[in-house]
Amino acid sequence: MSLLKVNNLTKNFGGLAAVSNVSLHLEKNELVGLIGPNGAGKTTLFNLLTGVYEPSEGDVLFEKEGKEERLNGIKPYKIANLGLGRTFQNIRLFKELSVLDNVLIAMTGKEKVGVLTGILRLPKYYQMEKKMENQARDLLAIFDLLDKEGEKAKNLSYGEQRRLEIVRALATDPSILFLDEPAAGMNPQETAELTELIKKIQREFDLTILLIEHDMSLVMDVCERIYVLEYGQLIAEGEPEEIKTNKRVIEAYLGGELTC
Ligand SMILES: Nc1ncnc2c1ncn2[C@@H]1O[C@H](COP(=O)(O)OP(=O)(O)OP(=O)(O)O)[C@@H](O)[C@H]1O
């Protein structure tokens, strides 16, 4: 059973099929790329997979503990609780809150204490709080943000804010992570560092990752398999070497960004 299976997914906006009859699958621990020219439907597909949009047609099936859950029509927060985490193309941090608090907020759905334990501040409450802080700090350390834990998020550099977004997504303890253009706006040095981090978190967190990215060197470096969308339709699927030389893909990118 695939960890995620998408069958004939379609999303219409009025007369426009932003995603049209797309079928794909993600296997456990895979790092898969989703590429395509501007407006191809990549973000719309992410929004369908994470409950932001309801599909016009088709199914999204997620394997959890040996059972297949149909995700169509399920609210985004419930999908996040099932283990599908994501980042967004535009940065969505709590800019006035500290770096640490940004991470802790993302964790609050996971750790539970009873209402009384919380109100009465029983020892269990403090133990849980400590445990969450430790986990948050461990994540910040991996992303080289630990020395910034007390800073307001708005004071971080652009590259640091992007990394904090990924930390927040990881803090929800996902089994699948959807990254929407994680390197957007980064300089080449930051992109190279991010590439290594993405490989590292996939290994260390036993993660399955689906990655939208326009930076082809990053995509070709980290992805084991790549799906290519054009005008809402899947036009190719394969390993990086196949995709680089695929005639249909080269045509779709003609004059565009397919420079690896
Ligand atoms: N909410 C919406 N209402 C109407 N049309 C939309 C909506 N969201 C996206 N679209 C249209 O659907 C198509 C696909 O857009 P989408 O943002 O998914 O593409 P993309 O591949 O992510 O593009 P980019 O690489 O530029 O981010 C575009 O033509 C876009 O204008």
pLDDT, one tens digit per residue, over 6-35 is: 999 999 999 999 999 999 999 999 999 999
- The mean pLDDT value for 101-112 works out to 79
90 pLDDT band, cuts 50/70/90, is confident
96-105, 153-162, 183-192, 247-256: least confident range: 247-256
Q: Is the pLDDT of residue 118 over 90?
A: no
User: In what helix (H) or strand (E) does residue 189 lie, and over which residues does it extend?
Assistant: helix 188-204
83 in contact with ligand 1, CB cutoff 6 A: no
Ligand 1 pocket mutation, candidates 34, 35, 42, criterion most atoms within 8 A of CB = 42
Q: Is the pLDDT of residue 109 over 70?
A: no
35 in contact with ligand 1, CB cutoff 6 A: no
- Which pLDDT value is given to residue 122? 65
**Which residues are registered as beta bridge partners of 177?**
85, 209
Q: Is the pLDDT of residue 100 over 70?
A: yes
pLDDT, one tens digit per residue, over 58-88 is: 999 999 989 999 999 899 989 999 999 999 8
Residues 3 and 26 sit within 8 Å (Cβ to Cβ): yes
99 in contact with ligand 1, CB cutoff 6 A: no
pLDDT, one tens digit per residue, over 125-149 is: 667 788 889 999 999 999 999 999 9
CA of 230 to the centre of ligand 1 (A): 11
**Domain span(s) for CATH 3.40.50.300 in the chain:** 1-83+174-260
- Atom of ligand 1 lying closest to residue 229 CA: 21
Q: Supply the residue whose CA is at minimum distance from atom 7 of ligand 1.
A: 13
Alpha carbon distance 218, 197 (integer Å): 11
- Which pLDDT value is given to residue 253? 84
Q: Supply the residue whose CA is at minimum distance from atom 4 of ligand 1.
A: 13
What share of the chain has pLDDT > 90, as a percent? 75
Q: Supply the residue whose CA is at minimum distance from atom 24 of ligand 1.
A: 38
191 in contact with ligand 1, CB cutoff 6 A: no
- The mean pLDDT value for 252-257 works out to 67
Q: Is the pLDDT of residue 260 over 70?
A: no
Q: Give 159's contacts (C-beta < 8 A, 6+ positions apart).
A: 186, 187, 190, 194
89 pLDDT band, cuts 50/70/90, is confident
ipTM of the complex, rounded to two decimals: 0.96
Q: Is the pLDDT of residue 111 over 60?
A: no
257 in contact with ligand 1, CB cutoff 6 A: no
- Which pLDDT value is given to residue 123? 64
116 pLDDT band, cuts 50/70/90, is low
- Which pLDDT value is given to residue 29? 94
- Which pLDDT value is given to residue 129? 80
Alpha carbon distance 39, 236 (integer Å): 17
- Topology of domain 1-83+174-260 in CATH is Rossmann fold (3.40.50)
- Which pLDDT value is given to residue 119? 66
189 in contact with ligand 1, CB cutoff 6 A: no
Block residue for tokens 């992007």 = 162
- The mean pLDDT value for 51-60 works out to 96
Q: Which of 59, 53, 50 is nearest to 6 (CA)?
A: 59
